[in-house]
Structure formats: structure tokens, C-alpha cells
Chain A
């Protein structure tokens, strides 16, 4: 599967300044794995050491937050758009 991944501004420097990249993967875990393999600077900013999605990152497949789907096991299909945005929170 080839999906389009939209990157937040904070990750774009690690991807050569690109805001949108195409990567392969059948699940969100595979998509993020492909992204990290291609752009090593992204590593550590999306997943925690135990391999789960970092709590300060939101990942969406099309309009849906993967936390409310199957998290990293959420399946993606050709043509899906995966959006990564920072969780915006504070005190």
C-alpha cells in the first residue's frame, strides 16, 4: 500500500523540508516504520521506547484519530491520507 503522509512543521526538517511524503505500509505501525526508515531524524518523535504511539502525537487516517480505531494496528489502504499532528496541550 502506498499512502500519503502529511507531516507537521516540526517534523519537516527531518524530511528534507517536505510537508507531504508517500510511504509504504498496510498498517499505521508499518507506515510509521517506513517513515522512520526513510527519515531517521523522525525516530523517537512518534513512538515511545516500548513501541506505542507517543502521547504528544496524534495520527489520523483520513478524518479519524487512530486512537479511536485500532491504534497502531489500524489498517490503511492505497490512497489513504495519514496526517500527523502534535497534540496541543498545556496547563
Chain B
């Protein structure tokens, strides 16, 4: 069984001095942030992961879908492919799309690793990192296009 650490809050979000080069952003609610953090904490010490469903054109998250990390590792993650298929179909039927992925870094900062960059599956996606390095989880979001990383603004609205 993964060890759960007794933390339930999550801090927003982007580094206050980050330079956002792309002009793109990811919009989500505080509940979405907490869902991602809670799932990643529940998977600790392994990496946690999941998919973001929303509107590709605006970067608005509508649903957070935690999935199994079938790599079952503290160093790498693989989203359960069957869950991906199920989530992708349901999103399409709802007129939405899978617009990104989140995963945790259990002991490092929320910055994409070389593996994250090399394996980034879609240049249109948003790549959310949840760092469990410090007492309170922190979340940042990136675009990864042709091996180049750009941090984007995370806009938190509502509950």
C-alpha cells in the first residue's frame, strides 16, 4: 500500500516571478487543484498521475481524472492505457477533449524532467506538475512543444 502523507491542502500555483512566454494558460477550480494533489498524495511514495478533460481551445479544465500509474514507480509514471481510452471516449461524447496530463514529482520541484519532455505526447496539451517536495504540494503547468518547455499561467477560479 502506498503511504499517505497527512496533507490535504495545495498551494497555487505558478511562481510569482515566472515569465510566461506563451500567453497560454490553464484554467481550473480550487477543487480541481485539490483533486490532483489528493490523488498524488494518495499514491505517495509512487508518482501519481491522471488526465485533464476540458476545452482544448481555451485551456479550461472541466474534469480531473486520476488514473492508475501502471509503472507503479517513484521515478516514472504511465497513465493506465485502458483508463485513457475510456476517458477519451467519454470526453468526446461530451463535446470535450483530453487536454493534458498531471503527475507528481515526489521529491523534486514541479519542473518537467528530461523524460517528461522526451515523452510529451501532444504539443497541444497542458502538462501539470504536482510537487510533493515540500510540506504543502505545489502545482505548475507547462506547454512542451518540440522539446521546448514554457511555463504557463494557472488561473484558479471558483471552488
Contact = CB atoms under 8 A, between A and B. Distances in A.
Contacts of A19: 92
A87 B81 contact: yes
Given A9-B56, A65-B81, A83-B85, A90 B122 contact: no
Nearest to B118: A90
A66 B114 CA distance: 29
Interface string B120-132: 1111100000000
A58 B70 CA distance: 14
Nearest to B116: A90
A91 interface: yes
Contacts of B75: 91
B145 to A, nearest CB: 11
Interface residues of A, number: 17
Interface residues of B, number: 30
Tell me whether chain B's interface is mostly helix, strand or loop, or mixed: mixed
Given A9-B122, A10-B122, A10-B124, A89 B76 contact: yes
Given A8-B122, A86-B122, A91 B116 contact: yes
B119 interface: yes
A68 to B, nearest CB: 10
Interface in A48-91: 56, 58, 60, 63, 65, 83, 85-91
A13 to B, nearest CB: 10
Contact of A10 (B116, B119, B123): B123
11 contacts: A8-B121, A8-B122, A9-B124, A10-B123, A10-B124, A58-B81, A65-B81, A85-B84, A89-B119, A90-B119, A91-B114
Interface of A: 8-10, 19, 56, 58, 60, 63, 65, 83, 85-91
